[in-house]
Structure 1
Amino acid sequence: MSVNVYMIFNGNCEEAVAYYAKVFGTEPDGLSRFGDMASEHGQDMPEEMKSRIMHANLDIHGSAVMFSDAMSDAPITIGQNINVTVISNDLNKITEEFKLLAQDGKVQMELQETFWSLGYGIVEDKYGVVWMFNHDDGRQ
């Protein structure tokens, strides 16, 4: 289990990843774009989203720092673009933690199966902190 930082950008994620990689002398470990994602039936992705970064990862001094662009219809505010990410191979544990934070918080994305995980969800807690939960089942 690990707790990591996840930074969200407004379309300039690729530029930010290159910048941080240069500063910290590292290379991105995988870089996927929204256009690489299989589209769900009936859900067309806006053309401007296809080239945006869906996920990138840098190893900075032994810690995983993750990056993504926001959806074009949901821009973020700089300063509020850093989330806490809980990654675990224990789906029951993250499900319970997610539910506890959601009791007094606001669910942004229900904990659900995705193409990369059996359980991924986003919840803002009662203090305004955004938590991303990801079950690491080896799909990534």
Structure 2
Amino acid sequence: MILQMTPFIMLDGNAKEAIQFYEKALHAKVLFTQTFGEAPISSESPVPENIKERLAHSVLKIGEADLFVADNTPDQPHQGGNAVYICITTNDMEEAHQLYDSLQQEGQVSFPLQETHFSPAYGIVTDKFGVTFQIFTKKNE
């Protein structure tokens, strides 16, 4: 049996911008994107003009993990991304600092990247899209 959990970030019209940001900040590779306007046409429920350019689905590859990013439709209430944290784990201090520095640009620091009893470099930052990331560096044993 295979069980996989994939973080899915829902945004309010700025998913394409977020993907560009994650390409730089997290070295994400875009595997797939589709706007609502690119979806198969249905005469029973046509796509409204005001959402055709919104991103219906995307798949990003970050290291060994997948991340889904999309826009909600205007009739869906939007909530910030802090209901779920995304924990990025690395064993490289330099990479931890680079990820933390990139994600905090125009974002907000909740817990400065620092040594803790469980990690040589751990921090929490909410990016400019309201998504909260934990940067966790494994101890070298």
Name the TM-score class by shorter chain.
Answer: 0.5 to 0.7
Runs (4 or more) in structure 1 with deviation over 4 Å come to 80-83
Query: In the alignment, what sits opposite 1:21?
Result: 23
Query: In the alignment, what sits opposite 2:77?
Result: 75
Residues 72-111 of structure 1 correspond to what in structure 2 (within 5 A)? 72-79=74-81
Question: Which letter does structure 2 place at the counterpart of 1:3?
Answer: M
**Are the equivalent residues in 2 in contact too, given 1:7–1:81 (CA < 8 A)?**
no
Secondary structure in 2 matching 1:35: helix
Bigger radius of gyration, 1 or 2? 2
Residues 1-140 of structure 1 correspond to what in structure 2 (within 5 A)? 1=2, 2-79=4-81
- Gap change, CA 1:58 and 1:81, over 3 Å in 2: farther
Secondary structure in 1 matching 2:22: helix
Secondary structure in 2 matching 1:28: strand
Secondary structure in 1 matching 2:18: helix
Instruction: Give ranges in structure 2 of 5+ residues lacking alignment.
Output: 86-141
Deviations 1:65-102 (A, max 9, x none): 1111001211311136759xxxxxxxxxxxxxxxxxxx
- CA RMSD across the alignment: 2.0
Distance 1:63 1:30 in 2: 14
**Are the equivalent residues in 2 in contact too, given 1:56–1:67 (CA < 8 A)?**
yes
Deviations 1:83-131 (A, max 9, x none): 9xxxxxxxxxxxxxxxxxxxxxxxxxxxxxxxxxxxxxxxxxxxxxxxx
**Are the equivalent residues in 2 in contact too, given 1:8–1:81 (CA < 8 A)?**
no
- Gap change, CA 1:70 and 1:82, over 3 Å in 2: farther
Q: CA deviation at 1:20?
A: 0.6
Distance 1:80 1:58 in 2: 20
Instruction: Give ranges in structure 1 of 5+ residues lacking alignment.
Output: 84-140
Identical pairs, percent: 23
Deviations 1:25-60 (A, max 9, x none): 232111111101113232122112100101111111
What TM-score, normalized to structure 1? 0.54
Distance 2:28 2:81 in 1: 24
